[in-house]
Amino acid sequence: MNILSLFKTRDGKIIVENFLSLSFLQVVTMILPLITLPYIIRVIGYEKFGLIALASSLVMYFQSLVDYSFKITAVRDLSLNRRYPKRVSLIYSRVMLIKFILLILALTLLSFIVYIYPPFYVEKELFFYTSLSLIGGVLFPEWFFQGIEKMRYITIINACIKVIFSLSVFVFIQESGDYLLIPFLTSSGLIVSGIVGQVYLHKNFRVGFVIIPIRSLIKAIKNNFYIFINQFVPNLYNNSTSFLLGVFAGNEALGVYSAILKIIDLCIVLLNVVSRVFFPFNNRNKSSFLVYKKIIFLLAFFGVTALLLVHDVIFFYLDLENYLALPLLIITGLSIFGYVLYDVFGLNYFIVNKNDKLVMKNTLFSSIFSFLLAFPLIASFGVIGAACTLLIGRLLMGGVLAGLYMKDKVCFGK
């Protein structure tokens, strides 16, 4: 199947609609930080910005726990059962119950960590406001809309609320001491999005809440464990890189690293749109994988090239004069290729074909190796060491899966 023939089919039209919906949302998501990020950095400074990044990196561990792989497994289950209302209600109820249980566990553990570690306790309000984002993450049923391939609803709800809360930054953030309002506004926006999303879901899709036996919840947790490990373990080198950089090099160095990483993440966001649109479709139609692979690799190449060509504009916009900015941008930019390799061969090939355990083993090995490498690299080379950790981790994780795919293709002719 080639690209043009796919897009002429009914499924192809659904892909185009979902792609346009998510693309619009991601354009909004990209433009808003481009507007607010320079303003925030100028008002609160790189040190406070780094402190916010430190709190976010800690909370992200617990966000991965609360998500518990449902952004993949629930989407996969819904895409295969979306025509059966009773099964849809069962999947929805099971996912929400588990997420709320994990939310209580996450908030308890996070509170304990902040309480016993003095440097965190001093900034307890910052960690509290940042942790509220976990509630918004649980409430917003993004996985549901993606699974039933009705992604325009994600766009309508998220775009409107993100615009309102992002623009409020200019109203409320006026001096360095207002830095606490940034995580508060962000978390508030997520919670409001979650509430609106739940109301819209129940009103328009007639999803009922079903009481799930404890035995079924435990079974679901066990069945999704491999994917959970696969999603959680990358935090060892991803979030830990930011966390360790803040510890070893200070909040200002972390602020510079986080600012550039946000630019890199904008490129990844666009690539992620294509992945999220194709993932449920790839589960139903395995032949679409080759089309997806061509599209994502082309976009990655042009995205990285564009970032490097306009680096002067990026640094001017961020008011960034650090001499390490360019090598930092180059190294983190190249890590995009590692991300794409994992996304293509890990998520959209092996996981689609239910080789969850294989992907988990690769992720576990790559993440632990990169995590151990992070300590000497960051301690010795600071922000450059952090960027190298990210690059090595992503290339290792994606490269091994690409090699396994090629071996699979040669052996079985897939």
pLDDT digits (tens, 9 = 90+) for 149-194: 776 766 777 777 777 877 888 888 888 888 999 999 889 888 988 8
| Percent of the residues in the chain that have a pLDDT greater than 90, as a whole number | 21
Nearest-angstrom CA–CA distance, 87 and 284:
17
**Comparing 246 with 198, which gets the higher pLDDT?**
198
Provide the token pair at 294: 């061509």
Q: What confidence tier does 67 reach under pLDDT thresholds 50, 70, 90?
A: confident
pLDDT of residue 27: 66
Tokens 């200019």 map to which residue?
Answer: 170
Asked if residue 222 has pLDDT above 60, the reply is: yes
pLDDT digits (tens, 9 = 90+) for 88-137: 889 899 999 999 999 999 999 999 999 998 888 999 999 999 999 999 98
Torsion of the alpha carbons at 205, 152, 337 and 69, rounded to the nearest 10: -20
Tokens 């002067």 map to which residue?
Answer: 312
Do 1 and 288 form a contact (C-beta atoms < 8 A)? yes
| Percent of the residues in the chain that have a pLDDT greater than 70, as a whole number | 88
pLDDT digits (tens, 9 = 90+) for 252-290: 888 888 888 888 888 887 788 778 777 777 777 767 788
Do 99 and 66 form a contact (C-beta atoms < 8 A)? yes
Provide the token pair at 125: 């309000």
Mean pLDDT calculated for residue range 281-305: 82
Nearest-angstrom CA–CA distance, 237 and 331:
15
Tell me which of 161-165, 217-221, 289-293 is least confident.
161-165
Q: What is the mean pLDDT of the chain?
A: 83
Classify 134 in phi/psi space as left (phi over 0), alpha (psi -120 to 50) or beta: alpha
pLDDT of residue 412: 44
Asked if residue 227 has pLDDT above 50, the reply is: yes
Packing angle between helix 10-67 and helix 239-249, nearest 10 degrees? 40
Q: How far is CA 352 from CA 20, 355, 402, in A?
A: 23, 8, 15
What's the pTM?
Answer: 0.71
pLDDT of residue 20: 66
Asked if residue 374 has pLDDT above 50, the reply is: yes
Asked if residue 305 has pLDDT above 80, the reply is: yes
